Structure 1
Amino acid sequence: MTLRHLKIFLQVCRELNMTRAAELLFMTQPSVSQAISELEDYYRVRLFERIARKIYITEDGYRLIAIAGNIVELFEKADAEIRDKKGRQKIKIGASVTIGTYILSDILKKVSDAGAIDVEYFIDNTKNIEDMILTARLDAALVEGDIKSGDITAEPFMDDRLTLACPAGSELAAKKKVNMKEIENYNFIIREQGSGTKELIEALARKNKVNLKITGVASNIEAIKNNIIGGIGISILPEIAMTRELNDGKIAAVELAGVNLKRKFRIIRHKNKNVGGALKLFMECAISFAKSFSGLEKRL
């Protein structure tokens, strides 16, 4: 078993397709298949299941992902620090849509000011970010949604609050406070499948036995806000995403009686991921930003 085997294995995990992995690695598909077979023979386990011309990662495969990712990372770190005299470390960070759109740039600014680190980032919904952590495509991520996998460690780092958002000057805005049942009467715009905000809203609806009248689905919060301003519908959105519109009087925030709309933003990583160097600095910068943001909110 060599570093080459592990790199091929990780690429196949990312693509879940031998042919596509081979293309990205500039190899032939039989060579990739042979490397995977050699790895399976070495460990005496099945790393992938082949079903109906598709491949799926096995439980043993998922266990190897984090270990292989750490080995490759350590090799690349040594290569960079010994060969590259500047010694810059590189990490790959994910962020769910709300965090990636509204606060990630501030955290990255802190990282840039703090040390010689290069950060490559990816923004997607919580479900897809979780999958990227499990397949070693990311070192860590910042998310607002709940994490399903027991192989991922999630640590709260920042408070978040959502609110019912509706067009300013509308009948609903004039009420100031409503119960969950009342919003059944309004067109509701919701985030896409895999969004942490969508999961929270659906859980609230189930708990309060509310049938939301879904008239729109969007993966972009800005699109939802524009539709609210245009009178197309209402939604439940993070306050951090509506600061400008609330201050400008374009969107009104309405209190939902008896509903807790607070949640935590979390730093997630694979449970076997080593935390040190660049990743530790990134996490410290995220926590530092959260503390300064909380202090600013209190002053306001």
Structure 2
Amino acid sequence: MDLLSLRYFRAVARHQHISRAAEELRVAQPSVSRTILRLESELGIPLFDRHGRRIRLNEHGAAFLHRVERALAELEDARREMTDAAGAGPGRVAVAAETLLQLAGVLAAFRAHRPGVDVRLFQAPVDSMRRHLRSAEVDFALASQPLGGPGLCSAELLREEVLLAVPPGHRLAGRERVAVAELADEEFVSTRTGHWQRALLERLFAREGITPRVAFEGDEAAATPELIRAGLGIGLMPAVARRTLGERSPVAWSRLDAAADCHRTLTLVWRENAYLSPAALDFRRLAMESFMPDAS
């Protein structure tokens, strides 16, 4: 069992597709297929269920993947630790976030403090961020919804209310408060399933026993105000958006009666016992100072 076989297996397990894994690995598809078959033969058990040309990770494969990701992450930590010890270059910091806009201030401060450090950003929903962390592809995840689990540490950076945004002239424009039940027949502009705005919307509606009508969905929450202004629907936006847009806001804002539960919690997450380079430690400190000015 060599490292190449384990890396091939991890790619196939993630994609559940030989061709896509081969594209990621930049190798020929037959090479990937042969490697997986050889690995299964060596282990003495199938790791995938096969139905024609389709493959699915089975329970044995899932258990094996968990340990493979831990092993490869440890090796990546070791490689980076030795590289830093040797003084080979200014280092690297990798961060995953649902939206990169919220990282702008932290990155500016970090770049000024540590010029030359290679900063890698991944835009991803919460499930992908968890995978990036487990495999040591990123040092940190900046999550707007719960991202916990065994082997993960976190620090809450920010907690803010989420508001209802509607187009000017809408029947709810000018209302100070709106009940969730009043929105049952409204069409929403939201992010795709997996992002925090969509998860919050569905959770609030589920408590009322109704399902939100999502007319337009995408991956970039920053476009939501303009889509709402255009009359394509209403939506949920964090309070920071109202402060950022200020007087030029293209939408009208209201609070939801469920305000106690209608909030976003921004959390910085990293792997427990993971190797964090001096650059990564500085990034964590600056992130906490940026969002929590009183943090030490």
- Common fold by TM > 0.5: yes
The C-alpha deviation readout for 1:81-104, integer Å capped at 9, x for no partner, is 6383xx32113211112xx12x21
User: Structure 2, unaligned stretches of length 5 or more?
Assistant: none
Closer, same or farther: CA 196–11 of 1 in aligned 2, 3 Å: same
Q: Counterpart in 1 of 2:226? A: 226
- Cα distance in 1 for residues equivalent to 2:188 and 2:71: 44
The C-alpha deviation readout for 1:104-139, integer Å capped at 9, x for no partner, is 121111221222521110112223323333444323
Counting only pairs closer than 5 Å after superposition, residues 18-167 of structure 1 correspond to structure 2 as 18-22=18-22, 24-25=24-25, 27=27, 32=32, 48-52=47-51, 53-56=54-57, 57-79=61-83, 82=86, 84=88, 87-97=89-99, 100-101=100-101, 103-115=102-114, 117-147=117-147, 149-150=149-150, 152-167=152-167
Secondary structure at the aligned position of 1:137 is classed as: coil
Please say if residues 190 and 235 of structure 1, whose CA atoms lie closer than 8 Å, have aligned partners that are also in contact.
yes
Counting only pairs closer than 5 Å after superposition, residues 163-182 of structure 1 correspond to structure 2 as 163-182=163-182
Letter in 1 for 2:90: R
Which is richer in helix? 1
Q: CA RMSD in A?
A: 3.3
Give identity over the alignment, percent: 20
- Cα distance in 2 for residues equivalent to 1:264 and 1:40: 43
- Cα distance in 2 for residues equivalent to 1:16 and 1:186: 37
1:27, distance to aligned residue in structure 2 (A): 4.8
Q: How many residues align?
A: 288
Secondary structure at the aligned position of 1:158 is classed as: strand
Secondary structure at the aligned position of 2:270 is classed as: strand
Please say if residues 184 and 211 of structure 1, whose CA atoms lie closer than 8 Å, have aligned partners that are also in contact.
yes
Q: Counterpart in 2 of 1:204? A: 204
Please say if residues 92 and 139 of structure 1, whose CA atoms lie closer than 8 Å, have aligned partners that are also in contact.
yes
Letter in 1 for 2:130: E
1:193, distance to aligned residue in structure 2 (A): 1.0
> What TM-score results when the alignment is normalised by the length of structure 1?
0.79
The C-alpha deviation readout for 1:240-276, integer Å capped at 9, x for no partner, is 2343434214212101124322231112234453344
- Cα distance in 2 for residues equivalent to 1:197 and 1:108: 24
> What TM-score results when the alignment is normalised by the length of structure 2?
0.80
Please say if residues 130 and 147 of structure 2, whose CA atoms lie closer than 8 Å, have aligned partners that are also in contact.
yes
- Cα distance in 2 for residues equivalent to 1:80 and 1:254: 50
- Cα distance in 2 for residues equivalent to 1:38 and 1:191: 42
